[in-house]
Structure 1
Amino acid sequence: MLIRQFQALRMHAPRQFKPVSSDSICVEIGAGKGKHALLFSSINPEKKLFAIERTREKFDAMSKQHLLEGQKNLETIHADAIPWIVHALYPKQVQQFFILYPNPEPHNPAQRWLNMPFFEFLLSRLAVHGTVTLASNIPEYIEEAEQQLKNVWKLPFEKQKIQSDSARTHFEIKYLERGELCQQLVIRKPEDYQTRFDDFMPLQGKTADLDGTLEHQHEQ
C-alpha cells in the first residue's frame, strides 16, 4: 500500500493554540475522560504528559478530574490531535505516544492511524528508541496495523496481549469485562530511522497560504 505525503503546511492551528517548549514529553492521543492520562502522570512524576481530547464533554470530564487530583506533570489539551501535533511538537521530542482504543473507522479504513499519511509526520516527532503504543479490542485492526508496520513503515514492534485485570481506560475496562481480547502493539523507532519531516519545525500558530508561503493563523 503506497501512502501519499502528508501536507503539514496546510494544517490550521487549533483555536486558542499555545506553543509548547522543546523539552522531552509524552503524548496521549484521544485521551477521553483521562483515566490513563491521570494514572500515567501519577505513577511517572518525572515525565511530562500532554493528553489530547477533541470531544468537549470528555475533555471537560478529564479537566475536572485533573483539577481534583492536581498532577503538575499533566497538560490537558482540547483540540484535534493532528493539527495540534503539527503546530506544537518538535522533531524527535516525544518519548512515548499512546493511542489507546482509537475509533476503528469501519467504513473508512483510510482514516485508521497507520493508514494515514500523517503517521509519517507522527514518527518524525518520536525520539530515537521512543515508542508508540496502539491498543485495540478488534483483532482485525491489530492485524492490519501489523501488516502496515512490516510493509509500509518498516518498524520493529512487539505484540502484547493485555491482561484481564488491566484498567487503563474506561473502554479497556468494559472490553475486558466482556471477555474480549484486547491487544497492543508497542512500536519502537530505531536509531537510523528517517522520515521526510525530520527537519520540519513546529508551525506554532502559522499556516501556509495557497502559494506555499507561511502566514500567521488568526483566530476567527
Structure 2
Amino acid sequence: MPIRQFQAHRMHAPRDFQAIENHPICIEIGAGKGKHALLFSGQHPDLKLIAIERTREKFLAMQKQHQLEGQSNLTPMHADALPWVVHALFPQQVQQLFILYPNPEPHNPAQRWLNMPFFEFLISRLAVNGTITLASNIPEYIEEAEQQLKQVWHLPYEKQVIASDSARTHFEVKYLERGELCQQLIISKPENYTTRFDDFQPLRGQNTQVTESKDGE
C-alpha cells in the first residue's frame, strides 16, 4: 500500500498545550482508562510515561485513578495523539511506545497505524533500539501490520502470543476471557535507521491547520 509523506508542518498544537523537556520518555497512545499506564508506571518507577487519551470520559477516569495511586512518573494527557506528538516530542526521545488494542478501522484501512503517513514520524521520535508494542485481538490486523513492517517500513519485529492471564488493559481482559487470540508485535528501531523527520524539531505551538486525527481505544 503506497503511503504519502506526512505533513508535520501543518499540525497545530492541541488546546492548552504545554511543552515537555527533552529527556528519555515512554509513551502510550490511546491509553483509555489507564489500566496499562498505571500498571507500567508502578512496575517501572525509573521510567517516565506519558499516557495519551483523546476521549474525555476515559481520560477523566484515568486521571482519577492516577490521583488515587499517585505514581510520580506517570503523566495522563488529554489530547489527540498526532498533533501532541508533533509538537511535544523530540527526535529519538521515546524509549518505549505502546499502542494496545487500537481501533481496527474496519471501514477505513488507511487510518490503521502502520498504514498512516504519521507512522514515519513516530519512528523518528523513537530512540535507537527503542520499541513499539502494537497489540490486537484481530489476526488480520496483526498480519497486515507485519506486511507493512516488511514491505514499507523495513523494521525488525518479534511476534508474540499474549498470555491468557495477561490483564494490561480492559480490552485485553475482555478479549482473553472470551478465549480470543491476542497477539502483539514488538517493533524495534535499529541503529542507522533513518526517516525524513530525523531533524524535525517540535513546533512549539505554531498555529496552523490540523490535517489528520487518530487515536486508539
1:57-114 CA deviation, whole Å, 9 max, x = no partner?
0000000000000000000100000000000000000000000000000000000000
Contact 1:9 1:207 in 2 (8 A): no
Secondary structure (helix, strand or coil) at the match of 1:146 reads: helix
1:155-190 CA deviation, whole Å, 9 max, x = no partner?
000000000000000000000000000000000000
> Kindly, what percent of the aligned residue pairs are identical?
77
- Greater Rg over alpha carbons, structure: 1
- Alpha-carbon distance in structure 1 between the residues aligned to 2:49 and 2:77: 10
- Alpha-carbon distance in structure 1 between the residues aligned to 2:155 and 2:114: 12
Q: Does 1:182 align with 2:182?
A: yes
| 1:67-106 → structure 2 map (5 Å cutoff) | 67-106=67-106
Q: How many residues get paired? A: 209
- Alpha-carbon distance in structure 1 between the residues aligned to 2:191 and 2:129: 7
How far the C-alpha of 1:204 sits from its partner, in A, is 1.4
TM-score by length of 2: 0.95
1:12-46 CA deviation, whole Å, 9 max, x = no partner?
11000000000000000000000000000000000
| 1:51-200 → structure 2 map (5 Å cutoff) | 51-200=51-200
1:218: which partner in 2? Answer: none
How far the C-alpha of 1:2 sits from its partner, in A, is 1.8
Unaligned regions of 5+ residues in structure 1, if any? 210-220
CA RMSD across the alignment: 0.7
4+ residue stretches of structure 1 with deviation over 3 A? Answer: none
2:3: which partner in 1? Answer: 3
Instruction: Flag the structure with more relative contact order, 1 or 2, with Cα contacts below 8 A and sequence separation at least 6.
Output: 2
- Alpha-carbon distance in structure 2 between the residues aligned to 1:11 and 1:192: 27
2:215: which partner in 1? Answer: none
- Alpha-carbon distance in structure 2 between the residues aligned to 1:154 and 1:118: 16
- Alpha-carbon distance in structure 2 between the residues aligned to 1:169 and 1:83: 24
Contact 1:41 1:47 in 2 (8 A): yes
Aligned residue identity for 2:56:
R
Aligned residue identity for 1:63:
Q
Unaligned regions of 5+ residues in structure 2, if any? 210-217
- Alpha-carbon distance in structure 1 between the residues aligned to 2:204 and 2:86: 8
